[in-house]
Structures are given as C-alpha cells and as structure tokens.
C-alpha cells in the first residue's frame, strides 16, 4: 500500500511541470485571445481598448471578405485533404505490397517535399506557374508554339486556388505515405496469402484487409491533417500569392494576419482567430465522430 501511494505521489509530482507549462503556454494565451476579441483595439491603443462585446463577431458575419476567406479555407481543406489522403494511401499500398525495384529510393523521392521549407515549396511552384518563363507555359510554347497562350496560374481568380491545391498536395503526400507504409508493413502476410487462395483480387484485398487494418492510422492522420491544413494553407498562400489576385486566394488566417498587422485592427483580427479556433475544434470533433469504428485486430 505504501509503495502504491509513493508511486502515485511521484507520478503526480512529475505531471506538475507539464501542467504548469500547459497553463502558461496554452490555456492563458487562449483565454487572452478570447478576451481581447471583445475589445476594439489598434496598434496605438493603450491598455485593453474599448470594450465592444460581440460587436467584432457581428461585423464578421457581414464582412464579404471574411466570408470569401472562409469559403477558400473550406475549399482547400476539403480538396487538398481528399486528394492527399487518397494518393498517400494508394502509393503506400503499392510500395508496401508490390514487388518493385528501388522502393526505398521512391520513399525518399516522395518524402523530400515534406522536408523543404514552405518558402522553398512556394519558390518551386512560382517557377512552375510563371507567366512568361514558367515550366508549364514554357512546355506549352515548346510543343504548341503557334496557338499556345500563356496561362496566369497565380493571377487568375478562377484557377489560383487549384494551383495552390497542387502545391499543398505535392508538399504533404509523401509524409503521410510513409506513415501509412509503416502501418501497412505490419499487416501479416498470411492474411494476403489466404486471400490469394480464396481468389480475392488486389483491389478486394485492399478494401477488405489493408484499409480496415490501417484505419486507426488513417483516422488519426485525417484529423491531424485537416486541422494543420489551415496553417499550411496560410504559409503557402502567404509565400506564393499573398492572398491575390484581389483576395481570391485569401484564407481565414491570411485575412486575420492582414487585419491584425496590416490594418492594425487587433481586436477584429483576434475575433477571426477565435472563429478559427472554434471551427477547428468543432471540425476535429465531427471528423472523430464520423470516422469512428470498432478496431480491427490482427
């Protein structure tokens, strides 16, 4: 009994530093953001500023730029996540199950974009999408010089977000592919051998064996990427388009940054931050709920 109490005391004392750090660096800043969003404050305001209650949030609901940024955020979150997860799972299954030469080399090639900084990724795709000397337009003029018209990938409101999708997918797909490969490589071979004897096709084996036994990893990474997608989109857009043309590629975090640091409307910017926080929290809960299923053991 005495040993049990001593062990419990030691565990509690060990948790105190982590708990204090959580309060100082997580809970307190979060509370401060919520509090500051209720004030009208600029860079020149002394103290908390003028208390306006929920007025900042009321203004948000009638702000067309905020609504457009929200739409762009949802668009990138859905499209990029679906494409990234789909490609990562497919590539992982192929590299894990198929007898391919140079599999380790392919892993490295796929993973390299993830270790590059966002600034480098943006520079690469700026070179690819360049209006006059970009790779895509250059190849178009090379193979069809008479009729090719240069495409403004980053300057056209209709296609700029699709151009950003390509950059974000390229940057992330290798990381999640490696994670899925790690899980899939642990699935016992005898399950696939039994499926082969029963005459199951590769596709059937994927849906009946590979995907169910990898589902917990897929579920965890899906929630993680959907939430982190908000931050990644901000970085890519900030470096690649700056939110242009004319706000067509602005997301919530880009708009928050512009309001807080360009327009110096800190209270309004923090109100956007509160919306992002609540949106992320609710979204993660929804994803966790709809992807829940009983664990499959092997």
Domain extents for the chain?
A: 79-214
Among the listed residues 28, 15, 202, 237, the one whose alpha carbon sits nearest the alpha carbon of residue 126 = 237
pLDDT tens sequence across 189-235: 888 889 988 888 888 999 989 998 899 899 889 888 888 899 999 99
pLDDT of residue 76: 94
pLDDT of residue 82: 93
Q: Looking at the predicted structure, is the pLDDT value of residue 294 above 90? A: no
Please say whether the structural domain 79-214 has been given the CATH code 1.10.3720.10: yes
Residue 47's Cβ-side half-sphere holds a number of Cα atoms within 13 Å equal to 3
pLDDT of residue 32: 87
pLDDT tens sequence across 172-181: 999 999 999 9
**pLDDT mean over 6-22:** 84
Q: Where are the alpha helices (DSSP H) in the chain?
A: 2-22, 28-36, 55-61, 64-97, 103-115, 118-129, 135-143, 160-184, 189-197, 202-205, 211-213, 215-240, 252-257, 266-290
pLDDT tens sequence across 88-121: 999 999 988 877 777 788 888 888 998 899 999 9
pLDDT of residue 99: 77
If you average pLDDT over every residue of the chain, what do you get?
88
Q: Looking at the predicted structure, is the pLDDT value of residue 296 above 70? A: no
pLDDT of residue 154: 92
Length of the chain: 298
Strand partners, 265: 42
pLDDT of residue 161: 95
* 139-169 b/e (C-beta count within 10 Å ≥ 16 → b): ebeeeeeeeeeebbbbbeeeebbebbbebbb
Helix axes 64-97, 103-115, angle to 10 degrees: 160
In 10 A of CB 46, how many CB atoms?
6
């Amino acid at each position: 009994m005495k040993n049990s109490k001593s062990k419990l005391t030691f565990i509690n004392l060990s948790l105190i530093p982590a708990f204090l750090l959580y309060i100082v660096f997580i809970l307190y800043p979060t509370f401060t953001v919520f509090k500051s969003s209720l004030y009208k404050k600029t860079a020149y305001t002394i103290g908390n500023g003028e208390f306006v209650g929920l007025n900042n949030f009321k203004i948000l609901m009638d702000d067309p730029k905020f609504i457009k940024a929200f739409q762009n955020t949802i668009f990138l979150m859905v499209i990029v996540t679906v494409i990234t997860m789909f490609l990562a799972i497919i590539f992982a299954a192929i590299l894990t199950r198929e007898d391919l030469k140079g599999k380790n080399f392919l892993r490295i090639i796929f993973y390299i974009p993830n270790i590059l900084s966002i600034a480098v990724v943006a520079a690469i795709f700026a070179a690819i999408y360049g209006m006059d000397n970009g790779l895509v337009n250059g190849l178009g003029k090379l193979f069809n010089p008479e009729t090719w018209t240069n495409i403004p990938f980053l300057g056209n409101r209709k296609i700029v977000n699709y151009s950003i999708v390509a950059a974000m997918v390229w940057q992330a797909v290798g990381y999640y592919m490696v994670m899925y490969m790690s899980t899939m490589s642990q699935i016992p071979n005898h399950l696939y051998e039994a499926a082969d004897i029963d005459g199951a096709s590769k596709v059937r084996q994927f849906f009946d064996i590979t995907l169910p036994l990898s589902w917990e990893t897929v579920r965890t990474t899906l929630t993680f990427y959907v939430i982190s997608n908000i931050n990644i989109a901000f970085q890519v857009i900030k470096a690649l388009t700056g939110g242009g043309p004319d706000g067509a590629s602005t997301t919530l975090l880009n708009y928050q940054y512009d309001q807080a640091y360009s327009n110096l409307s800190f209270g309004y910017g923090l109100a956007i931050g509160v919306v992002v926080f609540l949106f992320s929290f609710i979204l993660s809960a929804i994803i966790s709920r709809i992807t829940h299923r009983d664990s499959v053991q092997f």
